[in-house]
């Protein structure tokens, strides 16, 4: 038999409340983790994320923070523009090396 345990997911409100217990009420991280049945280290990570970016923390399942999403979009656009530039460079090289080849007589 396998001892595989399904991964638990926590919603944004749950994470914020657990972090609030530590940050505002002054409870110890280990106490909050033990009381809520959360694996070690999770609450400290949530507290750190909330302190680093209060508005963009915990974006949700499979979503990126707005800054990361914009960065991903810009990288995709840059790759597309580079491919287009390379195609145009090749076309210019072809047409400039033999100008009479493609001229109609």
Per-residue pLDDT tens over the stretch 9-63: 888 788 888 888 888 888 898 888 888 888 888 888 888 888 877 666 766 666 6
- Domain limits, the chain: 9-62, 64-105
**CA 23, 14, 16, 37: dihedral to nearest 10 degrees?**
30
Q: How far apart are CA 50 and CA 88, in angstroms?
A: 47
Token output for 72: 């991903």
Global pTM? Answer: 0.51
């Amino acid at each position: 038999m396998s001892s595989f345990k399904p991964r638990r997911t926590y919603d944004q409100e749950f994470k914020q409340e657990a972090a609030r217990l530590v940050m505002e009420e002054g409870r110890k991280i280990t106490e909050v983790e033990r009381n809520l049945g959360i694996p070690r280290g999770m609450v400290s990570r949530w507290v750190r994320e909330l302190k680093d970016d209060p508005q963009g923390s915990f974006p949700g399942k499979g979503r990126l923070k707005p800054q990361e999403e914009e960065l991903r979009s810009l990288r995709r656009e840059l790759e597309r523009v580079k491919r287009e530039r390379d195609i145009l460079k090749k076309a210019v090289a072809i047409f400039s090396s033999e100008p009479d080849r493609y001229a109609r007589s």
